[in-house]
Structures are given as structure tokens and as C-alpha cells.
Amino acid sequence: METFANYINGQLVSKKTDSYLENANPATGEVYSLLPDSSSHELEEAIRAAEKIQPSWEAIGVAGRGDYLNRLADKIESNLDLLAAAESEDTGKPIALAKTLDIPRAASNFRFFAQAVSQFASESHNMDNQAINYTLRDPLGVVGCISPWNLPLYLLTWKIAPALAAGNCVIAKPSELAPKTAYLLSQLCIDIDLPKGVLNILHGRGSQIGRAITQHSKIKAISFTGGTKTGSEIAASAAPQFKKLSLELGGKNPALIFADCNFEKTVEGIIRASFTNQGQVCMCSSRLYVEQPIYQCFKEALIEKAKTLSIGDPLTDVNLGALISKSHQEKVLNYIQLAKQEGGTILCGGQRLAPVGRCEGGFFITPTIIEGLDISARVNQEEIFGPVVTIQPFTSEAEALALANGTEYGLAATIWTENLTRLHRLAKQLTCGIVWANSWMLRDLRTPLGGMKNSGIGREGGWEALRFFTEPKNICIPY
């Protein structure tokens, strides 16, 4: 059995007591590793180390910090196979996806922010020739980064890279459901001699170590990606201390498909947007709205394509792997049952799958398309976070827009049309943080990423992330 350790003050620290959590491989259902069930004791140690080193981490300047981040990126790239295999083992995702998306993106996160911080500038304002104002942007000190299980290393590094680049020291908590690549990252930090205490990685339960991080008075900001319910708990516990908060939460993302779309390209795009990573990406499309004239043929083409998707052992060449856990599989299956009770028709999929062989005990669900549900149905309102989409026709642009905006979430939307004027018109009116036209998950790391309404507050990416992880101070000097 593999046993992971925390990374505190530059060292791998095993728990002294026997309080460890079990970690399963979702593709087989078997427990294969143990992780520390950390508590406030470990947190205090990590905060002491982070506070001690922070002034010198800030003092080495952007070039010095960028150098460390670039070295981490190099290490991630040279360990691509190891990290991709670990991510697949921990999450059940196809290894090819980990190799082409998760791990390369983790390296890019470090490279991007190493460079971005060297260009990060503050404004100055000439005040009618009376005075000059300029803004200093200092690091916050010690910050907390809490990340989920769906894109483990990708999202962990998306937070720690800008935090470190801006001169902060970090207490990071990866998801207890997918801790392995974070543990491997600590080893890479040791390999590059990252100064002790700059980054600390504490494993364990959200309700214990996660909560302790959000409540600790020495932690000045929390960057969190995860479920909306958890986000609201974090907001409530951080508010009395006026901590800075960036919350990237759930989504119920619409796809608006117009009759003038590029049909083939749209079918391909919607399949990818719906089922990548078993639908466990907060940006995944989950509500498909199709213009009436092409509804029937689009639906048929989509079902046909969904049925060709291969699903099974993530170490083989498959389109879909396993869902993260047994309880998550149950949750998704319950939503499929609920869809039937709410009057929906399952057009394809909707079943638990038990592949023969090694993955017999894994948590698989076939790609599912559901028709006939009203916008008010719970299945159309609540985040399912699995390979499940609903499909419905619309007859006018106004109706499409009302449906798209008709949930409490506001993360991402896609619009599929060749009409540029319509595209601009709709994009402006959608109440969400990101709109993709004729594409999905095309990501430029300079752009703001985040959601409106129950999808969170704040934005990550580019200058937004560097602004979040710094405190602006205005200096006013009369001429």
C-alpha cells in the first residue's frame, strides 16, 4: 500500500499517529493508498514555516521566483508519464487525457505565471497636476489554496502558481479523493530545492484540515474550486475575518445550437463538451438547446455519436473512464432515476457499467442523453457533474436566451452558429463568466476565468489572479 506524506517546511512529513485516510482507484474500486488525515497541528507547523520564509521569498524578486516556477515546470514535463499515470490511477480518467491535458497544463500554469508576474505593473494617476498617485501591489503573506478532484494537478497548480509568483507563501490542500499528484509535486519541489516553507501541502478531509485553513487568522486569502455548497460554507467561515476570497464553484452550463451551425463540427464539439472527463469538468455543457428545424437530426446524430464512445479501463485507449467514487456514481445514477420521475426520456446510456476484468469493480456510467424535461426540473437546475446531458428544442433566440439564463448557476455557455451578429448579441446577454463560440475549453491563460450567480465570486487567470494574490496600496504625493 502506498502511503502519502504532507509537505511541510520543505520536507515530507509522515503523520505520527495512525490517522490516515484510504484512497481508492475509481477504475477498480480498490483502495491502493493512504493519505494523512491532517489537522490543526500540521497546519500550525506549516503556517510557522510559511510565515518565516515569506519575506525572503518576496525579496528574491520576480526573476528569482520565476526561475523556481520554471524549474518546477521543467520537472513536471520531464515526469509527464509518471504524473499522467498517477492522475489516471487516482481519478479514473483516461490516461491519454491526463497526458495531453492535465499534466501539460500543470506545467503551463507555472510557466505562464513565472512570465506574467514579470509584466505585472501597477497604475499611476496624475491628479490635475496637483499630485501623483501610484499603486503598490504587495503580496498578502500566507494564503490558502483548496482544490478539487476532477482536474487535480491542473487546478492545484492553477492556484499555487500565481500565489507564489506574486510573492506569497502557500498552504495548499488537494482533494482527499485525488491526492497523489500533489504528493508527487512535493517531491519535485524538493528536487528543485524550493526554499523550505514557501509551499506546504497538507492532505486530508475538507471538513477538518480544509475548514481549519479557511478559519485560520494568519491565512489572508482563500482560493477555492469545488462544489457550490462547500463554497458557501467557506464564504461564511471566512467572512468574519474579512479574508479575500476567490470561489470557483459549480455550473449548469447551456449550449445554444442554431440551425445555421456547422453541423458536423457542432456534433463533435458537443460530444467533447458534454462527456470529457466523464462530464466532471465544471465547464462541461449539461443543457443542450437546439433550434427546432435541426432538432430531430441533431439529436439523432448526437445519440449515434454518444453510442460510439468507448468506456472502460482508463489505462487503455478509451474515450471515457470511471467516475471519481462510488458515492459520486450513486449520486449521478440517482439523478438519472429522478429524470425519469420528472417525466424525462432516457435517449441513450443511463446505466452503470461493469467492464470485465481488472475494472469490474470500477465506477463507470454510460454517456447519457435525456429528453423531455422542463427547465424547472431538478435535473435541469442542479449540477450533476457526470456524463449526463439534457436536450430540448427552442424556436426563437429569445426563448434560447431565457432557457440558457434560467438557472441559479452562471459559469460557462457555448453558442454554435455561423451568424456573427447573433453571436455577439447573445454573448452580451448571457449571465455567465465565459462564453465559447463554436468551441469549448479553448483556454488562453491571460483571460479571466470564473462565474456569476451561484457559480462563485472573483476571477482567476492572468492579471485577475495576480491582483487577487496582492494587496493594492495607493500612495499620493503632491507635486
Minimal distance in Å, beta carbon 249 to ligand TXE? Answer: 5
Among positions 139, 167, 210, 362, the unique one binding ligand TXE when judged by CB under 6 A: 210
Among positions 146, 163, 267, 373, the unique one binding ligand TXE when judged by CB under 6 A: 146
State yes or no: residue 102 binds ligand TXE (CB under 6 A): no
Residue 276 DSSP code: G
State yes or no: residue 36 binds ligand TXE (CB under 6 A): no
Minimal distance in Å, beta carbon 288 to ligand TXE? Answer: 19
State yes or no: residue 108 binds ligand TXE (CB under 6 A): no
- Provide the terminal-to-terminal Cα distance of the chain, rounded to the nearest Å: 68
State yes or no: residue 179 binds ligand TXE (CB under 6 A): no
Minimal distance in Å, beta carbon 338 to ligand TXE? Answer: 15
Report the half-sphere exposure of 118 (CA within 13 A, side-chain side).
Answer: 13
Nearer residue to ligand TXE within complex by CB, 257 or 449: 449
Phi/psi of residue 178, nearest 5 degrees: -150, 70
Q: Which stretch binds ligand TXE (CB under 6 A): 28-36, 148-156, 352-360, 469-477?
A: 148-156
Among positions 207, 262, 310, 345, the unique one binding ligand TXE when judged by CB under 6 A: 207
Instruction: Write down the catalytic residue from 282, 284, 359, 432.
Output: 282
Report the half-sphere exposure of 341 (CA within 13 A, side-chain side).
Answer: 8
* Structural contact between residues 89 and 32, judged by C-beta atoms closer than 8 angstroms: yes
Q: Which stretch binds ligand TXE (CB under 6 A): 210-218, 352-360, 369-377, 459-467?
A: 210-218
State yes or no: residue 197 binds ligand TXE (CB under 6 A): no
* Structural contact between residues 35 and 23, judged by C-beta atoms closer than 8 angstroms: yes
State yes or no: residue 415 binds ligand TXE (CB under 6 A): no
Between residue 297 and residue 326, which ones bind ligand TXE under the rule CB under 6 A?
none
Cβ neighbours for 247, distance < 8 A, ≥ 6 positions apart: 224, 225, 231, 234, 235, 456, 457, 458
State yes or no: residue 195 binds ligand TXE (CB under 6 A): no
d(Cα 357, Cα 65) in Å, to the nearest integer? 48
Cβ neighbours for 230, distance < 8 A, ≥ 6 positions apart: 206, 224
Q: Which stretch binds ligand TXE (CB under 6 A): 128-136, 169-177, 292-300, 368-376?
A: 169-177
Among positions 214, 285, 329, 417, the unique one binding ligand TXE when judged by CB under 6 A: 214
Between residue 350 and residue 389, which ones bind ligand TXE under the rule CB under 6 A?
383, 385
State yes or no: residue 234 binds ligand TXE (CB under 6 A): yes
* Structural contact between residues 3 and 14, judged by C-beta atoms closer than 8 angstroms: yes
d(Cα 369, Cα 390) in Å, to the nearest integer? 6
Instruction: Write down the catalytic residue from 248, 291, 383, 460.
Output: 248
The count of residues interacting with ligand TXE (CB under 6 A) is: 25
| Cα angle: 4, vertex 7, 9; to 5 degrees | 155
Pairing verdict, β 364-365 and 253-257: unpaired
State yes or no: residue 233 binds ligand TXE (CB under 6 A): yes
Of 311, 259, 312, 215, nearest in space to 419 by CA = 259
Nearer residue to ligand TXE within complex by CB, 170 or 426: 170
Nearer residue to ligand TXE within complex by CB, 5 or 315: 5
State yes or no: residue 211 binds ligand TXE (CB under 6 A): yes
| Residue 304: active-site member | no
State yes or no: residue 282 binds ligand TXE (CB under 6 A): yes
Cβ neighbours for 114, distance < 8 A, ≥ 6 positions apart: 65, 66, 67, 69, 70, 73, 161, 165
Minimal distance in Å, beta carbon 149 to ligand TXE? Answer: 6
d(Cα 168, Cα 55) in Å, to the nearest integer? 9
Torsion over CA: 147, 149, 150, 156 (sign): positive
Nearer residue to ligand TXE within complex by CB, 147 or 266: 147
Chain centre distance of CA 120: 24
| Residue 248: active-site member | yes
Residue 128 DSSP code: T
Of 403, 410, 457, nearest in space to 251 by CA = 410
State yes or no: residue 148 binds ligand TXE (CB under 6 A): yes
State yes or no: residue 249 binds ligand TXE (CB under 6 A): yes
Active-site amino acid positions = 248, 282
Contacts to ligand TXE by CB under 6 A: 146-150, 173, 175-176, 206-207, 210-211, 214, 225-227, 230, 233-234, 248-250, 282, 383, 385
